[in-house]
């Protein structure tokens, strides 16, 4: 049974956990899927929480580090250098906008880094005059990081307008996300969609998260 505005729980097995390392970001993208610019008191994920949940995630298939902007977590260097020891993930990756440069020399533990490229064209659908351009920052990080480096090029933000109510392709990705308050969400958009439900992470999280309804009916990624 689901409340109005929620879809049935997703049954795809979890293959990826993302840690929303921080709700702080240096950009203010109007259509941010996490609604970061609207968060009045953004939080960082406590190191103790990361260590605590790692005991339930030993050997996880893929561990992604995201934000906000994860490079703005004040303890990013310490966290990055311990993630493999804490989680023993098969694959560890970082998603960043590349703008903060203070941790460039701390990225070697990541198997790969994904940078999202923003230009003024990224915001043409936003209905605002907001602009940002991180071209130079991506160039800098590409030169500084010695591992596999991917760039999400030509990103156009999806407008936060509902186009349908059926789950999009993300529903079968097996991708869940943990927020700084310790709540785990069944889809990578987390609480960025109003009405999304999160649960505390326990040792049975892989099963428990599959009984949490998805907020597809309220989500601007939903399809007709
Ligand atoms: S860079 Fe990403 S997290 Fe930051 S405001 Fe833009 S979409 Fe949101
Ligand atoms: S992104 Fe939105 S529509 Fe797609 S699966 Fe997640 S909640 Fe559903």
Q: Which of 187, 192, 198, 223 to mutate for ligand 2's pocket (most ligand atoms within 8 Å of CB)? A: 187
- Write down the pLDDT at residue 162: 77
- Write down the pLDDT at residue 195: 85
Q: Measured from the CB, is residue 193 less than 6 Å from ligand 2?
A: yes
Helix (H) or strand (E) holding 209: none
Q: Measured from the CB, is residue 212 less than 6 Å from ligand 2?
A: no
Per-residue pLDDT for the chain (224 aa), expressed as one digit of tens each? 344 545 666 777 899 999 999 999 999 998 898 999 999 999 999 999 999 999 999 999 999 999 999 999 999 999 999 999 999 999 999 999 999 999 999 999 999 999 999 998 888 888 889 999 999 999 999 999 999 999 998 666 666 677 778 888 888 888 999 999 999 999 989 999 988 999 999 999 999 999 999 888 888 888 88
CATH number of 13-160+173-193: 3.20.20.70
**What CA–CA distance (Å, rounded) separates 218 from 224?**
12
CA 34 to ligand 1: nearest atom: 8
Question: How far away, in angstroms, is 179 Cα from ligand 2 center?
Answer: 17
89's tokens:
């993930």
Would you say the pTM of this structure is higher than 0.85? yes
Residue-range domain boundaries for the chain? 13-160+173-193
Please name the residues in contact with 174: beta carbons below 8 A apart, sequence gap of 6 or more. Answer: 12, 13, 14, 15, 16
């Amino acid at each position: 049974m689901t409340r109005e505005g929620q879809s049935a729980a997703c049954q795809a097995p979890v293959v990826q956990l993302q840690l929303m390392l921080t709700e702080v970001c240096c950009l203010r993208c109007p259509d941010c899927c996490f609604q970061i610019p609207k968060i009045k008191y953004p939080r960082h994920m406590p190191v103790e929480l990361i260590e605590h949940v790692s005991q339930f995630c030993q050997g996880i298939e893929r561990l992604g580090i995201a934000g906000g902007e994860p490079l703005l977590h004040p303890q990013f260097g310490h966290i990055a250098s311990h993630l493999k020891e804490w989680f023993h993930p098969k694959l560890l990756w970082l998603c960043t906008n590349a703008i903060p440069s203070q941790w460039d020399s701390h990225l070697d533990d990541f198997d790969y880094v994904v940078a999202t490229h923003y230009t003024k064209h990224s915001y043409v659908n936003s209905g605002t005059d907001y602009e940002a351009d991180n071209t130079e920052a991506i160039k800098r990080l590409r030169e500084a990081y010695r591992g596999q480096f991917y760039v999400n090029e030509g990103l156009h933000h999806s407008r936060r307008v509902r186009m349908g109510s059926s789950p999009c392709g993300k529903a079968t990705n097996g991708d869940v996300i943990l927020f700084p308050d310790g709540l785990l969400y069944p889809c990578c958009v987390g609480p960025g969609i109003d009405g999304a439900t999160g649960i505390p992470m326990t040792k049975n999280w892989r099963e428990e998260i599959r009984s949490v309804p998805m907020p597809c009916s309220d989500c601007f990624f939903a399809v007709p």
